Amino acid sequence: MVPPAEMKQDPLPDRLVMGLSKISLAMKSRTWRRQGRKGVGPLQMQVLTYLKSCPGQAATISTIARELAVKLPTASEVIRTLADKGLVRRRQSETDQRVVKVCLTAKGAKAGTTESAWPELLAAATTQLTPQEQINLLTALVKMIYGLQQQGEIPVARMCVSCAHFQPNEHKGTAQPHHCRLFDAPFGDQALRLDCPEYVSAQATRAKEA
């Protein structure tokens, strides 16, 4: 029998990508199984889910396109389809008549809610990791997301590490080494946020150092 150390292996980064791809596939296939029969595809569901998280459950088409990292014509087509299904509606902004906002309807909010189980599914899977493994995974994801963000592959993520309020390692040698200036409170890696509503973008050099 060939010892494991001598077995030919793909490079570790390639295997990590393969693992992430399998998780992504599970998420997409679950969406198709649950929503495909209703005629709501994965990208349409992403739009509904995003609108559900927005203030007033509304956003402009350009904002939706930017947040989901798709081209404006693609976002416009998806929104047109959702409007035809009665899941969203368009209305002019009260402050600027030239701006059209996409609003979630009650039917659309209900459709978006049915998909909320997939984070719970992943959360259940992460409970198989030890607390330290969960923290390591979170910090690794933060670095990967930031790298993709710097390459222009995904929109700006409202993460702690690229926020002007974030002060890394302000309290070295403690269980909560970082500090948030907005809340004036220390916190540890386990509390790092990936999407914070109070996010304020920091300068690029400062964010990279963090």
Instruction: Report yes or no on 20 lying in a domain.
Output: no
**Confidence category of residue 118, pLDDT binned at 50, 70, 90:** low
Per residue in 119-153, pLDDT (tens digit) is 667 778 888 889 999 999 999 998 888 888 888 77
Instruction: Report yes or no on 99 lying in a domain.
Output: yes
* CA–CA dist 17, 66 (Å, integer): 24
Domain boundary among 85, 117, 149: 117
Instruction: Report yes or no on 57 lying in a domain.
Output: yes
Could you give the 3-state DSSP secondary structure of residue 58?
Answer: strand
Q: Which two tokens stand for residue 173?
A: 């040698």
Per residue in 146-198, pLDDT (tens digit) is 888 888 777 767 889 889 999 999 999 999 999 999 999 999 999 999 888 88
CA 99 vs CA 62, 67, 105, 172: distances in Å: 10, 18, 19, 48
Give the domain range for residue 49: 36-117
Domain boundary among 117, 139, 159: 117
The answer to whether the pTM exceeds 0.75 is no
**Confidence category of residue 6, pLDDT binned at 50, 70, 90:** low
* CA–CA dist 77, 65 (Å, integer): 11
* Closest of 82, 102, 103 to residue 40, by C-alpha: 82
Identify the pLDDT of residue 145.
86
CB 147 within 8 A of CB 161: no
Instruction: Clarify whether residues 62 and 91 are in a common domain.
Output: yes
Instruction: Clarify whether residues 134 and 112 are in a common domain.
Output: no
CA 139 vs CA 61, 153, 159, 190, 194: distances in Å: 32, 19, 11, 8, 10
CATH of residue 40's domain is 1.10.10.10
Identify the pLDDT of residue 111.
78
Bigger pLDDT: 148 vs 88: 88
Residues with Cβ < 8 Å from 122, sequence gap 6 or more? 23, 27
Domain boundary among 66, 82, 117: 117
Identify the pLDDT of residue 168.
93
